[in-house]
Amino acid sequence: MSNQGVGPGGWPVVVRALVEPVEAAVEADAADAAVRNTALAVRGPLFGVAAQHEDDGRRWRVVVEVTHSSPQEARDALNSLLWFRAKDEAKSTLERRELLAAVAWLESERVDELIVLGVRYRVVRAEEYAGLDVHGDIEMPRPTDPEPLHPDWSPGAGARGPRVDQDLVLDPDAPLSPLHAAERISLRALAYSGTRFPDAVLRDSARAVDSHPDVVLMPAAFLIVERKSNGSWTPGGGLQATAHDARRTLDSALTWLEPRTRGLIPCNADPTVDARTTAAENTGKTADELAELAQAADRLRAGPSNEIEAGDTHYRIARSRRLLRWGPDGPEGPRPSDPDHHAPAALHPHLDEDGTVHLAEPERDE
């Protein structure tokens, strides 16, 4: 059973009744979080690519995860997606020709939307945010967030697990739980404010509330955040699909990356060498620092814990949320004030319409 309510701007929200015990537990977690978290920390925009087939209605499907820091990074990922589709999946010369034409366009221009083989692709913009409690602490994973039955800490386990936004369908008409619906409606008016934002960013943000008056909330993702002695939290890595993925990333950072960054282990050391394997082989300050990192990682595994300390740094696994603004024509794309870090460019060797890869530059007529 579901009821249809209308939020600001007249956009309907379908609210469904909760019938499963698991759903009720998730809703109870959300209610606790709403009481506990009294503010939001808005980190800024992330970018990805969504696709829409002719029979998708108002739904869009994420084909490039919405985790990239600039629109051009998302365009580059779409470039690669279409190039490999032309190389490995094209069923005819005509299909490959159309795919390669799209690749050539993406190599030379900042393209935010294109249609290829009847599929509409759009670079989309999401706002990343997290809940903050009265002490300014970032929300950690909730008890009902997915966790593996048997945590895998082995190297390479992340490549075998789910990816962020894998198989994600964005559907503004999907029925929502009561608290999910309430959160969605409450965030429709979210816009930047304050003197730390340039005027162009503030104007674009205010304009987006009118041009894309609805929002679609994406599933929670997880990341490492670090707090130094000054008390501020800073991101310590990218988004992960599960809290365990973020913990495993932190475990690797503490035992493998941090020792090399600090010069405790040579950068050219065997990849299997880490703080756990070498702490006992060293003496003095080096041994103490390696042991401290290894012990922190061990505490992370033993819990499993969502926060640990190592030296003067407090690490926490944070629960990140993202919202896509939504308008009559679907999800919002990049704004004029969103910066790009680099220009479009060719990313792969030349692929001809017969599917042959040419590693050397093709000869061009004078």
- List pLDDT tens digits, range 170-185: 999 999 999 999 999 9
Residue 140 is assigned to a structural domain of this protein: yes
Are β-strands 39-52 and 60-68 bridged in parallel, bridged antiparallel, or unpaired?
antiparallel
- The two structure tokens encoding residue 337: 């004030």
**Which pLDDT value is given to residue 280?**
62
**Which pLDDT value is given to residue 303?**
82
Q: Which residues of the chain have pLDDT under 50?
A: 1, 7-8
* Residue whose pair of structure tokens reads 């005027």 in the numeric block: 199
DSSP 8-class letter at 117? T
Cβ-count burial 125-134 (b if 16+ within 10 Å, e if not):
bbbbbbbbee
Residue 237 is assigned to a structural domain of this protein: yes
**Which pLDDT value is given to residue 68?**
97
Residue 307: which residues within 8 A CB-CB, separation 6 or more? 140, 314, 315, 316, 317
Are β-strands 113-116 and 12-16 bridged in parallel, bridged antiparallel, or unpaired?
unpaired
Residue 42: which residues within 8 A CB-CB, separation 6 or more? 127, 128, 129, 190, 192
Cβ atoms of 96 and 352 within 8 Å: the answer is no
Residue 343 is assigned to a structural domain of this protein: no
Residue 1 is assigned to a structural domain of this protein: no
Residue 361 is assigned to a structural domain of this protein: no
**Which pLDDT value is given to residue 148?**
85
Residue 137 sits in which domain range? 7-335
Instruction: Say how many domains are in the chain.
Output: 1
The C-alpha atoms of residue 362 and residue 366 are separated, in whole angstroms, by: 13
Residue 347 is assigned to a structural domain of this protein: no
Cβ atoms of 180 and 217 within 8 Å: the answer is yes
Residue 363 is assigned to a structural domain of this protein: no
Element spanning 320, H or E = strand 313-327
Residue 341 is assigned to a structural domain of this protein: no
**Which pLDDT value is given to residue 4?**
56
**Which pLDDT value is given to residue 364?**
56
Residue 224 neighbours by CB distance under 10 Å: 19
**Which pLDDT value is given to residue 7?**
47
